[in-house]
């Protein structure tokens, strides 16, 4: 077995552990599925009339508009939960088991991110299923659904990198958990739950430059209108930026952790 | 060839030098007992030898590989069971050992076979598919040991493997360590239990405040400090007065519990009548008297000036106060 295949096997094994860990610890799974689903239900039920507002994008239903926001919330919290789980591993010494094994140490981060990405994929399927079950249509069809799933999965990986970096730097689950409200603030300051056109200043300007808005629009457009190359490209660039940031920060945090023990 | 060779190893945390120029050598196939109180530098040393912590000075090789320059080769050659069993309570025992096999690069089929064999060996086959969080402390330590053995390492590091275990679980771990060693595995064992080091180790290093203060076989260390001591329990009379009298005959040792007097004597049994007579003349009645040959406990006292048990009690008191 060559080195690349061996490392891929390690990343897959650690990713599988990460997924099992999430499904066996309800407090990690709840933020990923339960909270976004409840928020989706409440918003769709309570603010469905918003689609009649002047300037609201042309959509089939408010649910169709909100699906991208729910997926975004889910993947952000998956990244946060991944960070919490990694910090718990550090606190209980499990990472010592990994660090004392003959594997590239960054495989430990990649394994965690693989698990977070898989949870992102699962979340995208979950919300697509909910949307379809409650009558929402996906305008770009199967290709649009696949694109949305790809963007959600890759953005989960990207956000997971930042969660992992914070976990590695602090080694404290409570610190990572403390970022939970911040995740929601950043999300609300994007176009995840409301169209940018209807926001007021300064939220409108912040949302305009918030990278998450680009990702949300990249996920949303295939659902409400069709696949647009520019939206997809901006979403991919935003995700790439978050990936690079997450990996650089994780690498630095990992080196710091190994240096200080 | 030495399985472990350490020269002038140092580790500083800010201004605090936790390990200060440790030198030691462990031969292939040896059990090396690394003995010391809490905070002496045992775990820091082990973390450097297992590549979990970079040294700030000196050098060390494990299985012939430098712990800094060839860390990955070191990790391939060692098994590690750390002080706090590094287990995921949500995994099953079988999942954990299979994961460890993957981390060590074993092919899937071999990893599964090794996992089954090891679970059988440490008597966890029946609990293999239960979550680790449901295991007792002894079961967790046995699982941790099994995981450390999955790739048949040349050198096994056990950091306080029996701390907090009941006597039965402790003896089970000891038996495992002996069997492993008989199979040729070199074992580096840190412990704060003198009996553990005495029972298991071919060679013992005593570390205190980051420095090795004594090293040798348990027998040589005991012989080195020399004389046996008399242990007296009084039926009536003042302990302070008894200590004053005994101090004229031999060298008083730090008391173990405040109820007994310990005095080191040069002539062993021949000094007993002198002690009894002197106490009798002072009107101090002796309830029991025992001649005790030197133990590692005495070696520890001779080399550090205090008893390991005192340190454990202090640590427990601090934990309670905290």
Taking an 8 Å cut-off on Cβ atoms, the answer to whether B86 and A96 are in contact is: yes
On whether the CB atoms of residues A173 and A153 are closer than 8 A, the answer is no
**pLDDT (average), residues A166-182:** 88
Tell me: pLDDT of B312 over 80: no
Residue in A with minimal Cα distance to B88: A94
User: Tokens for B318?
Assistant: 């601090």
Q: Among partner residues B54, B90, B104, which is closest to A101 by beta-carbon distance? A: B104
Chain B positions in Cβ-Cβ contact with residue A13 (cut-off 8 Å): 99, 102-103
Integer angstrom CA distances of residue A46 from A42, A51, A66, A127, A130: 6, 12, 12, 18, 17
Residue in A with minimal Cα distance to B72: A102
At residue B313 the predicted structure's pLDDT band, cuts being 50, 70 and 90, is low
At residue B319 the predicted structure's pLDDT band, cuts being 50, 70 and 90, is very low
**pLDDT (average), residues B202-218:** 90
Place of tokens 């176009």: A191
Residue in B with minimal Cα distance to A89: B88
Domain count of the fold of chain A: 1
Q: What is the pLDDT of residue A255?
A: 86
Q: Which of A115-124, A209-218, B216-225 has the lowest mean pLDDT?
A: B216-225
**pLDDT (average), residues A16-38:** 87
pLDDT in tens, A6-23: 889 999 999 999 999 888
pLDDT in tens, B165-203: 788 888 888 888 898 898 889 999 998 888 888 888 999
Domain interval for residue A89: 3-260
Enumerate long-range contacts of B216-222, CB under 8 Å, 24 or more apart.
B218/B33, B218/B296, B221/B296, B221/B299, B222/B293, B222/B294, B222/B295, B222/B296, B222/B298, B222/B299
Find the angle CA(A166)-CA(B92)-CA(A162) to the nearest 5 degrees. 15
On whether the CB atoms of residues B10 and B23 are closer than 8 A, the answer is no
**Is B223 an 8 Å CB contact of chain A?**
no
Residue in B with minimal Cα distance to A90: B86
User: Tokens for B22?
Assistant: 């440790």
Q: What is the pLDDT of residue B308?
A: 66
Taking an 8 Å cut-off on Cβ atoms, the answer to whether B52 and A9 are in contact is: no
Task: Tally the C-alpha atoms within 13 A of residue B93's C-alpha that lie toward its C-beta.
Answer: 27
Taking an 8 Å cut-off on Cβ atoms, the answer to whether B86 and A92 are in contact is: yes
Helical pair A106-133 and A141-170, crossing angle rounded to 10 deg: 140
**pLDDT (average), residues A36-65:** 83
Q: What is the mean pLDDT of chain A?
A: 89
User: Tokens for B68?
Assistant: 């800094």
Q: What is the pLDDT of residue B320?
A: 47
Q: Which of A34-38, A145-149, A251-255, B310-314 has the lowest mean pLDDT?
A: B310-314
Q: Among partner residues A97, A258, A261, which is closest to B86 by beta-carbon distance? A: A97
Taking an 8 Å cut-off on Cβ atoms, the answer to whether B52 and A96 are in contact is: yes
User: Tokens for B8?
Assistant: 């002038």
Place of tokens 């440490």: B122
Q: What is the pLDDT of residue B311?
A: 55
Taking an 8 Å cut-off on Cβ atoms, the answer to whether B103 and A10 are in contact is: yes
- Which are the contacts of B275, defined by CB distance < 8 A and separation ≥ 6? B230, B232, B245, B246, B249, B250, B263, B265, B289
**Is B10 an 8 Å CB contact of chain A?**
no
Tell me: pLDDT of A172 over 60: yes
Pair type for strands B251-252 and B211-216: unpaired
Taking an 8 Å cut-off on Cβ atoms, the answer to whether A89 and B90 are in contact is: no
Integer angstrom CA distances of residue B52 from B21, B76, B80: 18, 13, 11
Taking an 8 Å cut-off on Cβ atoms, the answer to whether B107 and A1 are in contact is: yes
Chain B positions in Cβ-Cβ contact with residue A94 (cut-off 8 Å): 86-88
Q: Count Cβ atoms below 10 Å from residue B282 Cβ, excluding itself.
A: 13
Q: Which of A121-135, B64-78, B208-222 has the lowest mean pLDDT?
A: B208-222
Tell me how many residue pairs between chain A and chain B have CB atoms under 8 A apart: 74
**Is B45 an 8 Å CB contact of chain A?**
no
pLDDT in tens, B243-278: 999 999 888 887 777 778 989 888 888 888 998 899
Chain A positions in Cβ-Cβ contact with residue B10 (cut-off 8 Å): none
The rounded percent of chain B whose pLDDT value lies above 70 is: 94
**pLDDT (average), residues B12-41:** 90
pLDDT in tens, A215-226: 999 999 999 988
Residue among A117, A120, A138 nearest A129 (CA):
A138
Tell me: pLDDT of B69 over 90: yes
Cis peptide before A202 (omega within 30 of 0): yes
Chain B positions in Cβ-Cβ contact with residue A93 (cut-off 8 Å): 82, 84-86
Taking an 8 Å cut-off on Cβ atoms, the answer to whether B53 and A261 are in contact is: yes
Taking an 8 Å cut-off on Cβ atoms, the answer to whether B147 and A100 are in contact is: no
Place of tokens 């919300």: A127
Tell me: pLDDT of B120 over 80: yes
At residue B51 the predicted structure's pLDDT band, cuts being 50, 70 and 90, is very high
Tell me: pLDDT of A87 over 50: yes
**pLDDT (average), residues B29-51:** 90
Residue in A with minimal Cα distance to B87: A94
Residue in A with minimal Cα distance to B70: A102
The H-or-E segment that residue A211 falls in is: helix A211-224
Structural domains of chain B in order of their starting residue, each with its CATH number = 2-222 (3.40.50.300), 227-293 (3.30.70.100)
**pLDDT (average), residues B142-159:** 91
Residue among B235, B242, B238 nearest B262 (CA):
B242
User: Tokens for B268?
Assistant: 């062993």
Taking an 8 Å cut-off on Cβ atoms, the answer to whether A102 and B47 are in contact is: no
At residue B303 the predicted structure's pLDDT band, cuts being 50, 70 and 90, is confident
Closest chain B C-alpha to A165 CA, distance in angstroms: 19
């Amino acid at each position: 077995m060559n080195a690349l295949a061996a490392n891929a096997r390690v990343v897959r094994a650690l990713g599988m552990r990460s997924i099992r860990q999430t499904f066996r610890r309800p407090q990690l799974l709840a933020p990923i599925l339960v909270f976004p689903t409840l928020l989706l239900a409440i918003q769709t039920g309570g603010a469905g009339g918003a689609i009649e507002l002047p300037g609201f994008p042309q959509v089939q239903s408010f649910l169709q508009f909100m699906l991208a926001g729910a997926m975004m919330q889910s993947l952000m919290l998956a990244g946060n939960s991944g960070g919490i789980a990694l910090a718990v591993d550090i606190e209980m010494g499990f990472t010592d088991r990994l660090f004392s094994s003959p594997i590239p140490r960054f495989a430990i981060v990649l394994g965690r991110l693989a698990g977070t990405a898989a949870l992102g994929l699962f979340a995208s399927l979950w919300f697509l299923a909910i949307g379809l079950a409650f009558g929402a249509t996906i305008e770009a069809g199967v290709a649009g659904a696949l694109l949305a799933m790809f963007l959600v999965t890759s953005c989960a990986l990207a956000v997971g990198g930042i969660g992992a970096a914070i976990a590695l730097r602090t080694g404290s689950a409570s610190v990572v958990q403390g970022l939970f409200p911040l995740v929601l603030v950043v999300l609300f300051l994007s176009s995840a739950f409301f169209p940018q056109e209807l926001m007021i200043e300064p939220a409108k300007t912040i949302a305009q430059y918030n990278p998450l808005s680009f990702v949300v629009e990249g996920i949303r457009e295939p659902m409400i209108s069709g696949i647009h190359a520019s939206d997809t490209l901006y979403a991919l660039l935003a995700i790439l930026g978050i990936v690079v940031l997450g990996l650089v920060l994780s690498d630095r945090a990992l080196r710091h952790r190994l240096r200080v023990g | 060839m030495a399985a472990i060779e350490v020269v002038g190893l140092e580790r500083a945390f800010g201004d605090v030098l936790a390990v200060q120029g440790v030198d030691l050598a462990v031969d292939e196939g040896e059990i090396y007992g690394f003995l010391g109180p809490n905070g002496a530098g045992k775990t820091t040393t082990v973390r450097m030898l297992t590549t979990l912590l970079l040294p700030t000075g000196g050098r060390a090789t494990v299985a012939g590989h430098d712990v800094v320059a060839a860390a990955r080769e070191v990790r391939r050659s060692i098994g590690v069971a750390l002080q706090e069993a590094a287990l995921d309570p949500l995994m099953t025992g079988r999942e954990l050992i299979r994961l460890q096999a993957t981390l060590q690069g074993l092919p899937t089929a071999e990893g599964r076979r090794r996992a089954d064999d090891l679970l059988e060996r440490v008597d966890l086959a029946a609990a293999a598919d239960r979550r680790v969080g449901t295991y007792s402390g002894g079961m967790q330590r046995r699982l941790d040991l099994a995981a450390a053995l999955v790739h048949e390492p040349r050198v096994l590091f056990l950091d306080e493997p029996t701390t907090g275990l009941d006597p039965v679980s402790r003896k089970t771990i000891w038996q495992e360590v002996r069997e492993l060693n008989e199979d040729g595995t070199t074992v580096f064992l840190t412990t704060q239990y003198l009996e553990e080091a005495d029972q298991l180790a071919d060679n013992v290093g005593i570390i205190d405040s980051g420095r090795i203060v004594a090293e040798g076989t348990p027998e040589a260390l005991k012989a080195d400090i020399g004389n046996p001591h008399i242990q007296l329990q009084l039926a009536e009379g003042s302990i302070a007065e008894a200590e004053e009298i005994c101090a004229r005959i031999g060298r008083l040792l730090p008391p173990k519990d405040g109820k007994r007097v310990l005095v080191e004597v040069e002539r062993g049994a021949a000094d007993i009548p002198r002690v009894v007579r002197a106490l009798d003349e002072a009107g101090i009645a002796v309830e029991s008297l025992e001649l005790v040959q030197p133990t590692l406990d005495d070696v520890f006292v001779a080399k550090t000036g205090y008893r390991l048990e005192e340190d454990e009690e202090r640590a427990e008191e601090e934990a309670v106060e905290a």
